[in-house]
Structure 1
């Protein structure tokens, strides 16, 4: 019997119990009022904190760049991880942590909210994966 699946490179797949997957999402979210508060050492702190959250929640950050007013990430996660839930966790935890670690940012925001409630999520195919990684990595150069 012929294989009914046209699978990408076997190394790009993740194997679960009874399923195989390859899910990548390009995720972008902004600070409230697009305020440029993620500058200096704050961007490095956010990167480290997001990496530790990825380890805790068992997803992979393939590429990430923190701009002064928004965050870009390419995430590889399991099918059980719902995107709205993931973003609620990421944004909520980073905001709480940032206000504790860098209380000076709260003074630059009205109402004390770090993140805009909106976000952008785009699925990534095997063909566009390298383009997205290059795009995220080149953000600081633009």
Structure 2
């Protein structure tokens, strides 16, 4: 998967990020309807913020997201934005989840993995994310 260069009004770029965010306490709750919901919501959020989702894999206790974003957006901002919106949305859609597993805390751990990739390793990261289900 070779991602093309993109343009803003003042730059040409090809910035690809591999983000991994983990549920608090590594609770394995991202499956079934919740996983399907995340797979439907994440592309919408990415589109709203001008990021291109390249690959997505939802594991029971973490999410792998590979996306492309303009140079005006720091990777940390992308992670914080996604985690914040997703936590509010998931707890609103699945209110029993908060009461059963995450009372008094958020959905995600404080940290996040951020990896950067150029065009050469973009395919490798996408394949890695897709193969996580088999591991």
TM-score by length of 2: 0.93
Give the superposed CA RMSD.
Answer: 1.3
Please tell me whether residue 29 in structure 1 is matched to residue 46 in structure 2: no
Greater relative CO (CA pairs within 8 A, separation 6+)? 2
Q: What's the counterpart of residue 89 of structure 2?
A: 97
Computing the radius of gyration from Cα coordinates, the structure with the larger value is: 1
Summarize the alignment of residues 1-80 of structure 1 with structure 2, pairs less than 5 Å apart: 12-80=4-72
Aligned length: 133
Please tell me whether residue 86 in structure 1 is matched to residue 78 in structure 2: yes
Please tell me whether residue 136 in structure 1 is matched to residue 134 in structure 2: no
Aligned-pair distance for 1:78? 0.2
Secondary structure at the counterpart of residue 88 of structure 2: helix
Q: What's the counterpart of residue 3 of structure 1?
A: none
* Runs of 4+ displaced beyond 6 Å: none
Aligned partner (choices 96, 101, 112) of residue 108 of structure 1: 101
Aligned-pair distance for 1:15? 1.6
Q: What's the counterpart of residue 111 of structure 2?
A: 118
The runs of 5 or more residues in structure 1 that have no matched partner are 1-8
Aligned-pair distance for 1:110? 4.4
1:134 and 1:66 mapped to 2: Cα distance? 14
